[in-house]
Structure 1
Amino acid sequence: MTQPRASARRDEITRAAAAEFDEVGYAAASLSSIAARLGKTKGAMSYHFSSKASLAREVVEAQYRQWEDVLSGIRTDGYSGLDAMILLAFAVAQRFRDDVLVRAGIRLQHDAGLHGVDLPTPFVSWMSVTRDLLAEANANGELQPVLDLEGAAEVLVEAFTGVQQVAHRLTRAQDIHGRVQRYWTLMLPGLGVTDPVERVARLAQQSEAY
């Protein structure tokens, strides 16, 4: 199989697996059910993925690979610090709503670990990204000077994770854009932003580009 065809087939299998994991979770999914989504046999998938665990890892890693490009695009457009962080959060929320690969990647990190699957530790990379953006905002004079950046990054990620999960369970995330807007409107004063409403509303609109 040529490289472009192999890559396209691998992506097709990964997305079918993501749809299955998103719908039924890791434990209930099987290679047979994923193959059935593709109209293939398990043998046809074995060239690319040898196990359900290897498929789960690829779904999670594919989900993570998106965010570097998204943040790069935000920075290319001239945003930094708090504005970049807010735009990134809206972009994550929108893809969580619309992209099964993102939803499945996040779900797998919540439940696949219970079954001994070797996946990246959840939340750690997001805490690191958030802390870096907070440090940038601090250098720009956007934050309270005594703010605990490490603690703030953890709280922001913890709370944002809750926003995603509540939105998913209650409305299949159809209202997540508004929930994220409310999240930032409430969180920013704690970071030292005294009038966040207009800023968050403006960035909410601009986030659709990402």
Structure 2
Amino acid sequence: MQERAGATRQSLLETAARLFHERGFAGTSISDIGNASGLTSGAIYFHFTNKDALARAIVEAHFATWPELIERQIPAGAPALAGLVRLSFAVARAYRDDPVVRGGARLWGERYAIDATLPTPFVDWIAAAHALLDRARAEGDLADRVDPAAAARSIIHAFFGMHTVSDALSGRADIENDLTDLWRLLLPALLADPLRTEDTLTRALACTTDGPGVARKICADAE
């Protein structure tokens, strides 16, 4: 029974997230969500007290996806800068393809219409980028002129600004090409040896860790 309730709740989150992304918070009603999910309003209220609580749960689920993604994309021992590039592509694909991530992002953008306290975005991404740049310095890959803290903030600013523009122009259909172009601008400034830009980008793009142990081994071997 508990397992079924959990599956129903997850399916409800995904359906609501898709509608919130398409129509916005104000443009989506509990009735709309019920019609799309096949649930009665009473069944929805069993899981969430109101639409604001449902929106908050989607934003929280959006944030909850990132720690596992970071762990999966940056295996222990993998070069940090290539890992940062690889992680950025995984995040970009999630913003393009994952309904909860897409819905959570739009809801946070409409946070002033939601009567709930939502998590603060970006700070964890800045911290993660900072940690990876510190690792890159210890590995000898980061240029001496680069301040990891300042660079981390600038990378996250550029990354999420690119998302906003890509979403407006193509619905993020071109996000991976846009991100490749962004890294071709950033990596020469970050690397101790700017001539390794294409090599770093190629390794990151060729290495996937979306699967279990076999994919991790391929990733480690490629590095």
TM over 0.5: yes
Name the amino acid aligned to 2:203: R
Residue 198 (str. 1) matches residue 163 (str. 2): no
What are the within-5 Å matches in structure 2 for residues 85-100 of structure 1?
85-100=84-99
- 1:134-177 Cα distance to aligned partner (Å, 9 max, x none): 11111111112242222111111111011111111211111111
State the AA in 2 paired with 1:179: D
Q: How many aligned positions are there? A: 209
Aligned to 1:108: 107
Structure 1 counterpart SS, 2:173: coil
Q: Deviations over 1:32-66 (max 9, x none)?
A: 21112112221111111111121112112212222
Mapped to 2, the partners of 1:74 and 1:24 lie a distance apart of 32
- Distance, in Å, in 1 between the alignment partners of 2:177 and 2:188 is 18
Percent identical residues: 34
Measured after TM superposition, the shift of residue 208 of structure 1 is 7.3
Q: Secondary structure at the match of 1:182?
A: helix
Corresponding position of 1:69 = 68
Aligned partners of 1:159 and 1:114: how far apart in 2?
26
Instruction: Please give the alpha-carbon distance, in whole angstroms, between the structure 1 residues aligned to 2:167 and 2:208.
Output: 20
Q: Partner of 2:187: helix, strand, or coil?
A: helix
Which range moves more in the overlay, 185-194 or 83-92? 185-194
Which letter does structure 1 place at the counterpart of 2:21?
D
What TM-score results when the alignment is normalised by the length of structure 1?
A: 0.91
User: Does the CA contact (< 8 Å) of 1:82 and 1:137 recur in 2?
Assistant: yes
Q: Which runs of 5+ in 1 are unaligned?
A: none
Q: Unaligned stretches of 5+ in structure 2?
A: 212-223
> How far apart, CA to CA, are the structure 2 residues paired with 1:135 and 1:11?
37
Map of 2:188 onto structure 1: 189
Query: 1:6-85 to 2 correspondence within 5 Å?
Result: 6-76=5-75, 78-85=77-84
8 Å contact from structure 2 (residues 74, 87) kept in 1: no
Cα distance, 1:20 vs. partner?
A: 1.0
Deviant stretches of 4+, over 6 Å: none
User: Does structure 1 retain, via aligned residues, the 8 Å contact 2:80–2:136?
Assistant: yes
CA RMSD of superposed structures (Å): 1.8
Deviations 1:180-205 (CA, angstroms, capped at 9, x unpaired) = 11111111122135021232133223
Q: Distance in 1 between matches of 2:115 and 2:54?
A: 14
Q: Which amino acid aligns with 2:123?
A: V
Counterparts of 1:71 and 1:116, CA distance in 2:
30
Deviation at 1:114, TM superposition (A): 4.8
CA distance in 2, matches of 1:25, 1:131: 33
What is the distance in 2 between the residues matched to 1:28 and 1:76?
A: 41
Q: 1:80 to 1:113 in 2, by over 3 A?
A: farther
TM-score between both structures, scaled by the size of structure 2: 0.86
